[in-house]
A = this chain, B = another copy of it.
Amino acid sequence: MADKHSPDPVENYISLMRLRGESKCSECALLNRCLPRSLADTNLLPIFESAVSGNFAIDAGEDLLSDETKFSLLFIVKSGTFKAINRINEANIQAFYFSGNLIGLEAIGQRQFDSRIIALERSVICAVDYDKLLDLLNRLNQVKKHFIETISLQHLESLRLFAIIRSGSVQQRVAAFLLFISEQQKRRGQAFLDMVLPMGRTDISNFLGVSPESLSRTLTSLSKKRLIKVFNRRVTLMNYDALSKMLSEAD
């Protein structure tokens, strides 16, 4: 397969992890949107922290893990973006992960990842030991609740994206994608009409199940309709409502 990615991601992150000692949730900017959010300002936070293996940075284009990585760590994206590509179909992007997202929820059940996870830009990751976490849940009832809810919400989000992308025209898919990215930014408390796509056109088109050419044409078409403005990877939503309406309308 590809020869560009790190030879042994598993070993890699363990060594990389040592580059940063920072694993204090109390000092993490993400705390109030993360699994232990209910523990802020309580004396239970250190209990959760004992499951945190550490933080580390990863460069653009580097693999976080491969489809042969055994599952033992859950990753939280502190900053940056990742893409998941499938082993079976290289040209198939399974998901994107943004700041605040958990990576590995789909791997819990089979104790094995089934996709390569690649950083799209320099990113920072927090690693949580799953077995330790599972044990701690009994003492951290709120975290138990949040954890299960998080998996559920991520599942729901997948289903919704699924529905839109499956049934719509290229225009609808692209609109849905832009709104999806916008939603991610909003969740992070950033401006949601002005955005910089962290991934290239090819990645987007693969994700949408569309040819890159069709994507390109659609973007210019939406620009001409004054619904968006495109400048390379910088996209501005000029008419949010009109874009939203496109999703539910016939065509």
Chain A contact residues, CB within 8 Å of chain B? 86, 88-89, 91-92, 94-95, 105-110, 114, 134, 137-138, 141, 144-145, 147-156, 158-160, 162-163, 165-167, 206, 208-209, 247-248
Contact = CB atoms under 8 A, between A and B. Distances in A.
A86 B154 contact: no
Contacts of A153: 109-110
Interface of A is mostly: helix
3 closest pairs, A vs B, by CB? A109-B153, A109-B152, A108-B152
A106 to B, nearest CB: 4
Copies, count: 2
A156 B114 contact: yes
Nearest to A139: B138
Given A89-B248, A156-B114, A94 B148 contact: no
A141 B248 CA distance: 43
B167 A92 contact: yes
B209 A109 contact: no
Given A108-B152, A144-B137, A145-B134, A248 B88 contact: yes
Nearest to A71: B152
A151 B147 CA distance: 11
A162 B152 contact: no
A167 B89 contact: yes
B105 A247 contact: no
B108 A163 contact: no
Contact of A151 (B151, B206, B247): B151
A57 to B, nearest CB: 27
Given A148-B151, A167-B209, A209-B166, A88 B247 contact: yes
Given A167-B209, A248-B89, A108 B148 contact: yes
Contacts of A209: 166-167
Contacts of A110: 152-153, 156
